[in-house]
Structure 1
Amino acid sequence: MRIGLLASNPDLPSNQRIMEAGEERGHRIRFYDVRQCYIKLDAEHPEIHYRGGRLLNGLDAVIPRIRPDLTFYGCALVRQFENLGIYSLNSAAAISHSRDKLHSLQHLLQQGLPIPTTGFADSPLDSDDLIDMVNGAPLVVKLLEGPQRRGVVLAESKTAAESLINAFKSLQANLLVQEYVKEADGKSLRLLVVDNKVACAVERQALPGQFRSNKQHGTSIVAARISSEERRIAIKAAKSMGLRVAGVDIIRARKGPLLLEVSSSPSLDDMEDVCGKDLAGALISAIEKQLGWKRRLASPIGTSDASSNLTQ
């Protein structure tokens, strides 16, 4: 198959692993910088071009890994591929949905999935009641338009929370306030869901002095044993948002597991290292399954065409 990896940085370990996995399975996989792709809208001859005028209409599938600040253009590009009948591992609609944090939380709640108590308001005049809504300080303040795992601040006191909320609102920034789950103790689960199955689960532990675990702030990561309920929540969250590949973040609270976020472009390399699984290969396998691509068994010794091991 001819597969395009739509991303921004070919040197990211996750992107390199996807390229390697595609090649190992005998596919022609190429990296395409989202910003270097451009679209021709035409009733008779719609096209997608890459820098230098290369036509991308002949691809069989694309794997979109769209950077948060390129969501609008990246989704427009993925939508064009879909309009041309080219399969996208995650759809433009699902990616767009996952990037709207408020909409995502509202949708997850509508599906009966548990999240931390969350507040949202427009006016700084409502900050006192907003803080009380989420059981007071300490609480977490999240910018709605912030890049993934950034724009998240812990306010340890009511005064600090009021100052943060008022400062962000004076800049006309949309934000959420969310209850702080103390018993999580800086730990969170990341479950990788591929094709409605949990392919890997890890637990991240924030370093001392940090309240959340992520690459930007430093973290330790270990393989995690998850409950059937955590597995169910992750699969349902990804499926309900239309994501065939998703990173689902969960924290363990006294009242049970709570969903934090669902990512459409999860990191793979750190999870592969911890779990010892070919997660990049699982993405390629999901495409093969969707497009009906079957892997031939190795040819018996002495027969011809042994080098050709794939068929469609």
Structure 2
Amino acid sequence: MNIAILSRGETLYSTKSLLNAGEARNHSMEILDPSLCSLAIENGKAALYFQGELVDDLDAIIPRIGASNTYFGTTVVRHFEAMKVFSVVSSEGIANSRNKWTCFQVLSKHTIPIPRTLYASFYEFEEQLKTFKGKPIIIKLLEGTHGEGVILSENPQNALATIETLNAAGVKFILQEYIEEANGADIRALVVDGVVVAAMKRKSKAGEFRSNLHRGGTSELIELTATEEKIALKAAKAMGLGFCGIDMLQSKNGPLVLEINSTPGLEGIENTSGRNVSKSVIGYIERNRKK
């Protein structure tokens, strides 16, 4: 098959891992920078050009759309979908996962547990903060990756100045309860085609509450409980993502979905778990192209 990885970073670990996995299965692999694609509708049909050349021979795409290129990258994926090219993640799934509030709305529709979260009103900050009853609060920008745009306020009083500043700057954000018992750790589960293919527990470094490996966190192999696996699979299905990372917190009330990543990094989890996630992604494409 002819498979394209939509990526702006051909030297990145994840891109190279997927490329190697596809070539190992004798597929014709290529990397297309989505920012260099031109989109058209000609004679009533979607057409796509890459650096001036018509692209009309692809069987499948693996989108690796960065947060800085969400809008146009998602548009490119949607265009391939209109061309009936199979995508391991849907354009709708990418768009919905990138906006944290939209993501939580979709999850709530499917009764998937998340931490208590408020979409911050522009006029009732103090009243909304009172509902947290003096406990620590997480302030999150609607869009952000690798822990960027996430602030921990020890109490509602400290949070007020921060959210007033964000509001004055026109920045949209949400307020979320801090799950203290998680102790700076979370679970990342990689889902491919309705199966959890790898999972790890990430722990934040000393003095940091964010567990992202990009921020110095550590990781260890973990076996998900039946409940954690069920929630991860349900969340991926709700978002319409055949390939994604599900981040969960272990709370006293059970697992809570913290975030869904439609372009999950593979280096940390492949090295931690010893699993070849990229091979699973290629297998997913092979199974679906046979249908």
Q: TM-score surpassing 0.5?
A: yes
Quote how far apart the aligned CAs of 1:148 are: 5.0
CA distance in 1, matches of 2:180, 2:66: 31
Match of 1:35 in 2: 35
Q: Quick one: which of 267, 270, 288 aligns to 1:269? A: 267
- Give the SS at the match of 2:42: coil
Change (3 A) 1:84 1:245: same
CA distance in 1, matches of 2:76, 2:109: 29
Change (3 A) 1:200 1:40: same
Q: How does 1:132-171 map to 2 (within 5 A)?
A: 132-147=130-145, 149-171=147-169
1:282 aligned partner, one-letter code: S
What are the superposed Cα offsets for residues 201-245 of structure 1, whole Å, 9 maximum, x if unpaired?
Answer: 100000000011003321100101211000000000000110000
Match of 2:26 in 1: 26
2:19 aligned partner, one-letter code: M
Moved more, 224-233 or 113-122: 113-122
After superposing on structure 2, the runs of 4+ consecutive aligned residues of structure 1 that deviate more than 6 Å are none
Identity between Structure 1 and Structure 2 (%): 34
Match of 2:67 in 1: 68
Change (3 A) 1:135 1:29: farther
Structure 2: 5+ residue runs without aligned partners? Answer: none
**Alignment check: 8 A CA contact 1:119 1:134 kept:** no
Q: How does 1:293-312 map to 2 (within 5 A)?
A: none
Quote how far apart the aligned CAs of 1:79 are: 1.0
2:247 aligned partner, one-letter code: D
Match of 1:15 in 2: 15
1:27 aligned partner, one-letter code: H
Match of 1:78 in 2: 77
TM-score (norm 2): 0.96
Match of 1:284 in 2: 282
- Give the SS at the match of 1:26: coil
1:234 aligned partner, one-letter code: A
Q: Quick one: which of 179, 196, 199 aligns to 2:197? A: 199
CA distance in 2, matches of 1:195, 1:136: 42
Quote how far apart the aligned CAs of 1:73 are: 0.6
Moved more, 53-62 or 202-211: 53-62
Quote how far apart the aligned CAs of 1:115 are: 0.5
CA distance in 2, matches of 1:224, 1:276: 12
- Give the SS at the match of 2:124: helix
**Alignment check: 8 A CA contact 1:138 1:158 kept:** yes
**Alignment check: 8 A CA contact 1:6 1:62 kept:** yes
CA distance in 2, matches of 1:230, 1:257: 6
Match of 1:180 in 2: 178
Change (3 A) 1:131 1:58: same
Match of 1:299 in 2: none
What are the superposed Cα offsets for residues 176-206 of structure 1, whole Å, 9 maximum, x if unpaired?
Answer: 0100011100000000000001001100000
1:26 aligned partner, one-letter code: N
1:65 aligned partner, one-letter code: R
What are the superposed Cα offsets for residues 285-305 of structure 1, whole Å, 9 maximum, x if unpaired?
Answer: 000000019xxxxxxxxxxxx
Structure 1: 5+ residue runs without aligned partners? Answer: 294-312
Match of 2:95 in 1: 96
**Structure ranking higher on relative contact order (CA contacts 8 Å, 6+ apart):** 2
**Alignment check: 8 A CA contact 2:130 2:156 kept:** no
- Give the SS at the match of 1:41: strand
**Alignment check: 8 A CA contact 2:213 2:219 kept:** no
Match of 2:55 in 1: 56
CA distance in 2, matches of 1:91, 1:56: 19
Quote how far apart the aligned CAs of 1:135 are: 4.0
CA distance in 2, matches of 1:271, 1:46: 36
Change (3 A) 1:211 1:60: same
Quote how far apart the aligned CAs of 1:44 are: 4.7
- Give the SS at the match of 1:216: helix
Quote how far apart the aligned CAs of 1:111 are: 0.8
Quote how far apart the aligned CAs of 1:96 are: 1.1
CA distance in 1, matches of 2:143, 2:225: 32
Match of 2:5 in 1: 5
Q: Does 1:258 align with 2:256?
A: yes
